A and B are shown apart, each in its own frame.
Chain A
């Protein structure tokens, strides 16, 4: 496929435009730390004090533009399966990025976040970009997890780290942007058949070229 001098890809319809990279991003963390709120703030710019999980949403999408690259996030929420500690491992399979969220006013959720980081390091793709988000920064007067403690932990484990507030929108876009910057965009991550990624099945998807139906 021809590429022009700026390295942008030639699209099938002939128009040239920046690269589009699609990434699966998963949210992890204890119940009620604000995972869904972060997504909702990022995707819709909304915040609701009593956010219920969004019924019927397998994942939400949002795009970020970085120079000549469009980064499209497929953001997966836990659908409440973490509530009774029953999150299916399938959920974070093939994820290229993860935000592990804890609540800065609750020390237990920070402990749980560490467990999730460990789980991802052992089980997820070795190249996964992990960000740690200390959410509910607007409640800093009730803080139970020190900023420095989390920063040190993040540094030791090679994680991006920010304290966020889905309520005030502080650092919400920034953390997604930081992840987008860190993700590798050189390889073709959008199409199928890449070496690391498998195939997503869809209607009308046919490898008509690779095999002829012999009974016709």
Chain B
């Protein structure tokens, strides 16, 4: 690639994780010049989705880049503290079936219509070769997320008009593990009443509780330091109901504080009835689409994107970020934003690290068979000191896997290791060995492929005080079901950079855009200017006219007065004259009289 970047930007963003991408969109949207680069050849970093072959190529650790030690003002990007760990994957199917079978399979891959064959026939057909062949039909999330239909994230998507870039699927059912089997979690009024496992008395209790949660303050008065579980138990709910509310609706554990539990339950309940039967949405083609959607908005507003960039490092000046060097080019910017995995190690204070345990399975059928394909969320309660586990089961319609297989994600706070953390669940819900398969156990889904890893939860990582003030660091994936933490963090950074600017105002719809080419804009500008001038002139003329009118008025007034005076004078004169005439006449008369007398 032979090209140069512009030499100066308002902000340079390194890494395309969710928070970095939201910030890219927000800055670009308000007219800031954004350069957004990533060393990876793909968008999303640890928030990305991968096809089957690509996820197996991910490495446990990247090599740390060595900074040019001779210059303390030039730092290299990256650290090895937040890498994916404990990657372990394997196929649970034969590498390749015998010839007769494989020919049949090839036919299926070629002809899409043939994929409609019944599941029983298909169960036998998956082998390693076939899975690899369909690798690109998989979009496997390192960090799968669901969105609350009325959560902060969905509201942001809609208010900023980014929602239109991607498509979503509703989660169609929520299950929970209770009394040694999977059962639907009653979450809406209709669910509660349709649920045959809940007695009439329980239904009333549950409805009453769900309604009362809105009256938060009154309810929690005496539970300041108590757990949500204690609160629920004190309400004299049956153990089944406590389970539904605690491990389901409020996605809490035994130790969740009362206040937090209630807030989480409200978040769930508020999102009911907007899109589909459950409160949750899943972005089609995987959660890795989310950062891409924000990056697209950034590009639409002029942001410049470059993946696969060999970033050499960045320079400080006066304890502030000054410039970045990429492919020997030095680029200046006012601010630098980066994913925490790109931060030089010296700025990371805390040594303690929290991990998220992840397990990804490809299975041959759903955990709970149903006529129609389901998008399933399972809340698996804490059990024997194991953490609360979220399970998401995705089918073909989500665009994350080929037809006739399911992609299953397990997510939990890491306790020991991913394998250990999920063993009890895997054993209960799936069949994972050739032995068990041979026993012809058709009830449970077979695991065709499994992948384990640990992902760093860097949200509580503390940074050192000497981090330059114009460098902003974005943490990686977190345990929350939704992107609430990411939105909050992105807003905070945006406000620190641009306190007076609006965070992701609504982008225009296509109908509102004036096409735009400079000539036309210029012309329009000119016309506007002219119109302005004319208006100004018109104003002046009006003013003048006013003045003239005033003058005219005054003149009229003066003239009227003069006229009056003249008239008055004239009147006086006339009177005098008349008098004179009279006098004269009288004189004449008297003279005549005298004459006559004489």
Contacts and interface: CB of A to CB of B under 8 A. Distances in A.
A61 B188 contact: no
Contact of B170 (A81, A123, A195, A199): A199
Nearest to B166: A90
Given A90-B166, A197-B167, A214-B187, A56 B300 contact: yes
Nearest to B511: A61
Interface string A200-216: 11110111101111110
B190 to A, nearest CB: 6
Q: Chain A interface mostly helix, strand, loop or mixed?
A: loop
Interface string B184-207: 000111111000000000000001
Contacts of B300: 55-58, 79
9 contacts: A54-B516, A57-B510, A58-B297, A79-B300, A84-B304, A199-B169, A202-B158, A206-B273, A215-B211
A120 B513 CA distance: 29
Interface string A28-44: 00000000000010011
Contact of A86 (B168, B192, B306): B306
Given A79-B299, A93-B399, A214 B210 contact: yes
Q: Tell which of B1, B207, B295 has the most Cβ of chain A within 10 Å.
A: B295
Interface in A180-201: 195, 197-201
Contacts of A44: 515
Contacts, number: 177
A58 B164 CA distance: 9
Contacts of A126: 112
A206 B149 CA distance: 10
Given A56-B300, A81-B296, A212 B284 contact: no
A55 to B, nearest CB: 6
A80 B274 contact: no
A5 interface: no
A184 to B, nearest CB: 14
| Chain B CB within 10 Å, residue with most, of A60, A81, A195 | A81
Interface stretch (A45-53, A137-145, A146-154, A160-168): A45-53
Contacts of B463: none
A58 B275 contact: no
Contacts of B210: 214-215
A89 B44 CA distance: 12
Contact of A211 (B273, B281, B307): B273
A215 B306 contact: no
Contacts of A200: 163-164, 167-168
Contacts of A18: none
Interface in A4-30: none
B248 to A, nearest CB: 13
Contact of A122 (B1, B136, B163, B308): B136
B9 interface: no
Contact of B269 (A56, A81, A203, A213): A213
Nearest to B509: A58
Contact of B190 (A122, A197, A212): A212
Contacts of B213: 215
A203 B506 CA distance: 12
Contact of B517 (A51, A81, A211): A51
A14 B287 CA distance: 40
A214 B515 contact: no
Given A90-B296, A195-B397, 20 more contacts: A40-B515, A44-B515, A52-B517, A58-B164, A58-B300, A58-B510, A61-B510, A79-B296, A83-B304, A83-B305, A84-B3, A88-B296, A90-B43, A200-B168, A201-B168, A201-B275, A202-B164, A207-B273, A207-B274, A213-B269
A149 B567 CA distance: 105
A202 to B, nearest CB: 7
Contacts of B167: 93-94, 197-200
- Judged by DSSP, the binding face of B is mixed
B470 to A, nearest CB: 25
A116 interface: no
B295 A205 contact: no
Contacts of A46: 515, 517
A211 B284 contact: no
A51 B520 CA distance: 12
What is the size category of the interface that chain B forms with chain A? 35 or more
Interface string B500-544: 000000011011010111110000000000000000000000000
B277 interface: yes
Nearest to B297: A58
Contacts of B518: 52
A19 B189 CA distance: 38
A88 B295 contact: yes
B154 A56 contact: no
Contact of B301 (A56, A207, A213): A56
Query: A-B pairs with the 4 shortest C-beta distances?
Result: A198-B167, A214-B189, A84-B306, A90-B292
B289 A81 contact: no
Interface in B149-190: 154, 157-158, 161, 163-170, 187-190
A90 B166 CA distance: 8
Nearest to B209: A215
B276 A198 contact: no
Contacts of B281: 199, 201
Contact of A58 (B165, B188, B519): B165
Interface string A78-117: 1111011110111101100000000000000000000000
A215 B214 contact: yes
A203 B188 CA distance: 22
Interface string B251-274: 000000000000000000110111
B293 interface: yes
Given A201-B163, A206-B274, A212 B43 contact: no
Nearest to A198: B167
B302 interface: yes
Nearest to B170: A199
Nearest to B168: A199
Contacts of A197: 167
A210 B276 contact: yes
Contact of B154 (A60, A201, A212): A201
B292 A211 contact: no
